[in-house]
């Protein structure tokens, strides 16, 4: 065994979920933080070239995405910035992960389902942000 710790690339580490994930993941490997705010690797997830360059530079063993465009009201009137971060960047992470043999774990915390109904949500339920 080489003794090298796996590199875990955590996007959105400056947010509430990301902060908890950083703390929780640190025993599993070397956590490299990326995104906006106080992170090791500042990157704009709306910039595909920058995101790709960062992932290829870090070459993580695991990518964890807790980053998101969270201005829900603004996303409804200006959908493109939200789409770039919440859909296109996540898709690019998946493609890069497949290319590098690196699993991607994506977290979503809010505004996925409609809120109507009286039973717990399932992954198969339709998304209605």
Residue 119 belongs to some domain of the structure: no
- What is the spatial distance between Cα 25 and Cα 20, in angstroms, rounded to a whole number? 9
Residue 70: what pLDDT?
A: 85
Is 116 within a domain? no
The DSSP string of 95-110 is: HHHHHHT--EEE---S
Residue 54 in any domain: the answer is yes
Number of domains the chain is built from: 1
Predicted confidence (pLDDT) per residue in 71-121, tens digit: 888 888 889 999 999 999 999 999 999 999 999 999 876 667 777 889 888
Torsion over CA: 10, 13, 16, 21 (sign): positive
User: How far is residue 118 from each of residues 114, 115, 121, measured CA to CA in Å?
Assistant: 11, 9, 9
123 within a domain of the structure (yes/no): no
Residue 60 banded pLDDT, cuts 50, 70, 90: very high
In degrees, rounded to 5, the angle at the alpha carbon of residue 127 between the alpha carbons of residues 18 and 73 is 70
* pTM (2 d.p.): 0.84
Q: Is residue 125 part of a domain?
A: no
For the chain, the first-to-last Cα distance in angstroms comes to: 46
115 falls within a domain? no
> Domain residues for 93?
7-106
Q: With respect to residue 70, please indicate whether it lies within any of the assigned structural domains.
A: yes
Q: Which CATH number characterizes residue 101's domain?
A: 3.40.50.720
Residue 117 lies in a domain: no
3-class SS at 63?
A: strand
Question: Burial code of 82-96, b = ≥16 C-beta within 10 A, e = fewer?
Answer: bebbbeebbebbbeb
């Amino acid at each position: 065994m080489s003794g090298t710790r796996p590199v875990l690339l955590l996007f959105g580490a400056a947010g509430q979920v990301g902060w908890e994930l950083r703390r929780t993941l640190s025993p599993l490997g070397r956590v490299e933080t990326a995104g906006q705010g106080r992170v090791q690797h500042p990157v704009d997830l709306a910039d595909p070239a920058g995101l790709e360059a960062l992932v290829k530079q870090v070459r993580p063993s695991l990518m964890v995405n807790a980053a998101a465009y969270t201005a829900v009201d603004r996303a409804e009137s200006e959908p493109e910035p939200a789409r770039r971060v919440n859909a296109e960047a996540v898709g690019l992470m998946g493609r890069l992960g497949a290319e590098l043999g690196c699993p991607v774990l994506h977290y979503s915390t809010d505004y996925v389902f409609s809120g109507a109904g009286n039973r717990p949500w399932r992954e198969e339920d339709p998304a209605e942000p």
